[in-house]
Structure 1
Amino acid sequence: MIEEKIKSIGIKIPIPPNPAGSYIPVVKSGNLLFVSGQIPMEDGKVVFTGKVSDANIETAKKAAIVCAVNILAQIKKEIGDLEKISRIVKLSGFVNAVPEFTQHPKVINAASDLLYEIFGEKGKHARVALGVSSLPLNSMTEIDAIVEIK
């Protein structure tokens, strides 16, 4: 049902990107999954790079959506079935922003809204949205997640 919902909104869950450093993509502890920060990668390339400003906020929202899709891809690789997700607990969103940019929540809302659209009430979560001076590979956004599973 979840994967049908994802397909119905036009999203394809990709093969997740490999780690770009000395870490693992997902750590399972009890019934929680801690998903490492995901950047907007597609087919092994960062698709949204550079600093976020008021002029390119819509592009940054697209970057956040790709991060959320990559979170789901990592979860699917780890547990095999997105139906096992019982709750999106928390997202931490980072925006590679110019110093005067203050709309970080609007950027990360794109990821939050997507997860709510897919999971309904189970997709509502706690969150932090921060501006940072740089991100790996000059990506516009990076998002990590804590997810509860059945």
Structure 2
Amino acid sequence: MIEEKLESIGVKLPNPPTPAGSYVPVIRTGNLLFISGQIPMEDGKVIFTGKVSDNNLVTAQKSARMCAINILAQIKREIGSLDKVTRIVKLSGFVNSMPEFTQHPKVINPASDLLFEIFGEKGKHARVAVGVACLPLDSMTEIDAIVEFAE
């Protein structure tokens, strides 16, 4: 059971964040979930903010991991159980970075690593990691996902 695995590694799923704009958090079409960009939000507050640089890489990695946890919370809310996930198809990771920062993949890796750890082979996915000039609510990171599931 995925929930037991989460508990064993110390991950507690939060209530899924509500959208910060005029969109829905998840679209279900066929057996795919398109999960809107998740930021490092907890209890309605952005936890990790500001520009990413070489000086705060570890903090930015924590931000990306929190985005992945919020993705998991959205999945659970939408389909009821993480055990229904058959594949993490793709992540798109955005890093609110300083212009000279070039380690975007390293920032997003903890999100990918968490999904690999939880889902094993089903957690392997395609991915993009890019730097951007700013993100909503000054978030350090934002990650969206495409997830396949079975009923």
Alpha-carbon separation, structure 2, partners of 1:107 and 1:86: 25
Q: 1:113 & 1:55 partners in 2: Cα distance?
A: 22
Q: Give the drift of 1:134.
A: 0.1
1:102-148: CA deviation from partner (whole Å, max 9, x where unpaired): 00000000100000000000000000000000000000000000000
In the TM superposition, residue 59 of structure 1 has moved relative to its aligned partner by: 0.2
Partner of 1:57: 57
Distance in structure 1 (CA, Å) of the matches to 2:7 and 2:35: 22
Give me the whole-angstrom Cα distance separating, in 1, the residues matched to 2:138 and 2:27: 25
In structure 1, the partner of 2:9 is 9
The residue aligned with 2:46 is: 46
The runs of at least 4 aligned residues of structure 1 exceeding 6 Å deviation read: none
Deviation per CA, 1:9-57: give whole Å up to 9, x if none: 0000111111110000000111100000000001110000000000000
Q: Whole-Å Cα distance in 2 between the matches of residues 142 and 3 of structure 1?
A: 24
Match of 1:100 in 2: 100
1:86 counterpart = 2:68: no
Determine helix, strand or coil for the equivalent of 1:92. Answer: strand
* Distance in 2 (alpha carbons) for counterparts of 1:20 and 1:80: 23
- Where structure 1 has 5 or more consecutive residues not aligned to the other structure, the ranges are none
Aligned residue type for 1:30: G
Secondary structure of 2:110's partner?
Answer: helix
- In structure 1, how many angstroms separate the alpha carbons of the residues matched to 2:77 and 2:15? 8
Distance 1:19 1:102 in 2: 29
What do the CA deviations read for 1:46-98 (whole angstroms, capped 9, x no partner)?
A: 00000000000000000000000000001111111110000000000000000
Match of 1:120 in 2: 120
Q: Distance in 2 between matches of 1:83 and 1:118?
A: 10
SS of residue paired to 1:75: helix
Amino acid at match of 1:82: L
**1:66 matched to 2:82:** no
Identity of aligned residues (%): 77
1:28 corresponds to: 28
Scaled by the length of structure 1, the TM-score of the pair is 0.99
Aligned residue in 2 for 1:109:
109
